[in-house]
C-alpha cells in the first residue's frame, strides 16, 4: 500500500509565511479611521447637493402635476361648458358632480386626485384670481408662501 502524503502548502501560503504575514491579518485602527474620515468628507460635500436635487425634483413634479390638472380641466370645460366650482374642486375630474349633465370623465388616470409631492392636497379656486381657475401647491410646509427651498407652486407662474 502506498502512503498518503500531506499536500505541500501552495506557493501563496509559502510566500506569506516567508514574509511573516498570517492569514488573519486585518486593518489597523489608523487605517480604519482614515477611511472613515475620507467617507465623512465625501458625504459632507456630496450630501447637500443630493438633498438640493431632491427638493428641486419635487418642485418639478408638482409643476408637472399642475399642468396635468390644467389639461384635464380644459377637457372638463369642453364637455361641461364650465370649469368645476371651488366647492366641487378637483374631485370633479374623477367623480361626476351633482348637476353635471355632460360629464365624460374620469379626466385623471387612476381615478383619484393625487396629493402634491409633499403629501398635501392641492388648493383649487374657480373662478381664480389669475385666470378661470387657480391651482396651488404650498410646498413642504403646506402653508401659504412655501419656503426658500420649495416655494409655492402655482398654475399661473411658469417655472
pLDDT at site 5: 63
Residue 20 domain flag = no
Rounded to whole angstroms, the Cα distance separating 111 from 95 reads: 8
154, part of any domain: yes
For the range 85-88, what are the long-range contacts, defined as Cβ-Cβ under 8 Å and sequence gap of 24 or more?
85/126, 86/124, 86/125, 86/126
Query: Do residues 152 and 66 make contact, with C-beta atoms less than 8 angstroms apart?
Result: no
146 pLDDT band (50/70/90 cuts)?
low
Asked if pLDDT for residue 159 goes beyond 60, the answer is: no
Average pLDDT, the chain: 80
Quick check: is 142 in a domain? yes
Which position has the grid cell 427651498? 149
For position 13, what pLDDT does the model report? 57
> Global pTM?
0.63
**What would the pLDDT profile of 78-90 be if each residue is shown by its tens digit?**
988 889 989 988 9
Residue 156 lies in a domain: yes
Print the domain residue range for 69: 57-159
Q: Give the CATH number for residue 132.
A: 3.30.700.10
Amino acid at each position: 500500500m502506498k502512503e498518503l502524503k500531506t499536500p505541500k502548502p501552495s506557493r501563496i501560503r509559502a510566500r506569506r509565511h516567508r514574509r511573516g504575514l498570517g492569514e488573519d491579518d486585518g486593518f489597523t485602527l489608523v487605517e480604519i479611521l482614515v477611511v472613515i474620515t475620507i467617507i465623512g468628507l465625501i458625504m459632507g460635500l456630496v450630501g447637500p447637493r443630493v438633498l438640493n436635487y431632491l427638493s428641486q425634483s419635487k418642485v418639478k413634479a408638482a409643476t408637472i402635476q399642475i399642468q396635468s390638472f390644467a389639461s384635464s380641466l380644459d377637457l372638463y370645460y369642453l364637455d361641461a361648458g364650465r370649469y368645476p366650482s371651488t366647492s366641487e374642486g378637483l374631485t370633479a375630474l374623477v367623480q361626476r358632480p351633482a348637476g353635471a349633465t355632460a360629464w365624460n370623465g374620469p379626466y385623471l388616470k387612476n381615478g383619484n386626485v393625487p396629493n402634491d409631492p409633499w403629501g398635501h392636497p392641492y388648493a383649487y379656486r374657480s373662478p381664480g384670481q389669475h385666470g378661470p381657475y387657480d391651482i396651488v401647491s404650498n410646498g413642504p410646509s403646506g402653508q401659504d408662501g412655501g419656503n426658500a427651498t420649495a416655494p409655492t407652486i402655482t398654475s399661473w407662474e411658469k417655472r
